[in-house]
Structure 1
Amino acid sequence: MPRPAPPQASPRRPRIGAGRPLLEADLATQVYDSRGQRRNVALSELSFSISGDHPSFTAVVGESGSGKTTMARALLGMQEPTSGEIRFNGKNVYKLKGADQLEFRREVQAIFQDPFEVYNPFYKVDHLLTVPIRKFRLARSRADAGNLIESALRDVGLEPKDTLGRYPHQLSGGQRQRLTVARGLLIRPRLIIADEPVSMVDASLRKTILGTLEQLNDEFGISFVYITHDLATAYQVSENIIVLYKGLVVEAGEVGRVIKQPEHPYTQLLVSSVPEPDPTRPWSGEMPEGNKKVSTAAATGTGCAFADRCPHVMPICVKERPPLYRTHDEQAAACFLYQETPRVVTGDVSQTFQPFQGKEQPSAKEE
């Protein structure tokens, strides 16, 4: 669902040179090893980039344990991948120092799931806003700082006199979450990574918070990576979508096409699992049974991770992991059902958000 292009960013903070990504993951893999337990791959060879020139809104969806939060932590510089790299302006995030590190901390911000854990209960909520102003030197005087804070609060639907001077427990969950959005607006980053930002607020506030995120994207040119398990809100606010399963990208592309015409069997399962808002057609809640014949092969990582649940499993699915195949100009799926179509050239899922440019790789059949 394409939206009008947002205004250009402020001249005082010029955009990155044409063609260079702002933030990118290059084959990022995160493995957890536990004594006495098998190896757990939380994220596998993720290649993904956010443009430094054109603000975007990308949703990342998948069930619990799919690797969504691991992806967020890696992109935020909070957890270095076991292998691969996360780069900001072409530099490894985990090797940044001095001015480069400060720039990364300013330009890439986060909104977390729990709107209470981000606060220190010993400080009033003002502390969340005054610290970045001081750290990033956003104001020349106390009066300027006050004006910035009041403007940011009003932009997210909060009244300064009813918000400032209070402790976190004195505000509702929705107010606390909107405060974290206000902090992001105050800093004016280029990218906000929002990890389940509305999962812990009631339905009446979800629309308000999501509307604010859309406003930041449209009016202020801030890109978003919106991580959620909710397909409905992903469809509502995002332009592009990435579907994760067991740490792997199984489908990606333009959100309207992926939701309405899902190609990968797992995405089809996710979409079909959403209850129909029709009382005459009750949802059975039935899920497909696992395929015991291929469960062992899938668990060892030698084949498709979804093979043990897939109704279309083939012999090749047990032996090899499927690459991303281009199924449409704005869609790709990691499934051997589409092996007659071209592969995504570098494995970068960002390429599925626009038509191919340059030479396509041949299909498996052609090789």
Structure 2
Amino acid sequence: MNLVALRSPEFRLYFFGAVANVNALWISRIVIGWLAWDLTHSAQFVGIVAACSLLPTLFGGPFFGVLVDRSDIKRAAYATNLAMIACIAVLLALQIAGHVATFSLILISLAIGTVTAAHHPVRLSLAPRLVKAEDVSSVVALSALNFNLARLISPAIGGVLIDLTGTTTALLVTLVLFLPNLAVLFRLHPRELTKHGGEPFVTAMAEGMRYIRQRRTIVAVLATTAVFSVALRGVLEVLPIIADGSFNLGAVGLGQLGSAVGGGALCAAIYKAMGRKSTGRNALSLGNVSVAIVGLLAMAVLGTTQIWALALFCAAMLGATGTYFGVTMQSMIQADLPDDMRGRVMSIWVVVGLGATALGAFVIGALANLIGISAASLWISGTGLVAILILSRRAPKDTPQ
């Protein structure tokens, strides 16, 4: 069982707040996406709003990582949570006043994206410091379980709230769900850092990059994450092409594919949480490479099949392999990571995964326009397979830290 982190009273408190927090984030994404569509009925504007929530992480993540390693982690957690509440409160006030417009929605999405960019290194640093070092893999597995359960149920909850009560009530529910996390933060006592950064900001960032370069496990994880995200996670961002372009099922088909991805991801998260604690240190072990190959094959079939049931099965496999891979890779980095390096190193991991996913979505979308989704998925999956096999052949037999 990989639930040992729950033996820590402080982590149990943190986990309770995190459950409410993650559900609030997913509902807010649904509400903002709906507002973008309701305002303009433009798919392009919906994409612009979504991009505004992601871009700050790509460009600001490493800077926030340095700040987290130099800050009081509890104060940083309070700051990011209060900032997120402020963003939602402003949107709620505009919605009540009837003043939500395209420009204001873009600004709020950028603000939420900036807060999220800061929150990533905070959450990835705070939770591991509430448990013993040997229990960090359990923290990662439970966090993935929480995330994927919320991903499965919260969009549906948000949709029902919007349909039955309107966006104002949905935003109010989102605000309420952010409050439990604030209530538990003051009772947490994370491990103190062994040293507090007094060096110049640029020096601290360079130290983090040097730490990464000197550790082959981290380098292998980042390289593998980049390939996996380009080849597999990218396709999850262009599911409308498959749902409507290949099957002509529109939003209904897209929803079913999304649910299949969420269901597969949840199954993998439960498996990682209920399984034995991971002890492997090789990012390109036979087991991890096998999972990557299964995901790549599922992607190839998803893009070429004309059988809807098979497409749903492949979407579930993509969700499962993506979550399994993500939890495994994060556990490998977090296991031996010093507390005073977590913000910097984990922010780079987030940026690599997010940036590679965005690149993969762009590439497969462009290729689909040129050669069709079937040929594009075969090309991407084949290239990913070759890249994974090359990495596995070149990887050292051991990866000492």
Instruction: Output the TM-score relative to the length of structure 1.
Output: 0.25
| Greater helix share, structure number | 2
Instruction: Output the TM-score relative to the length of structure 2.
Output: 0.24
Higher RCO, Cα 8 Å, sep 6+: 2
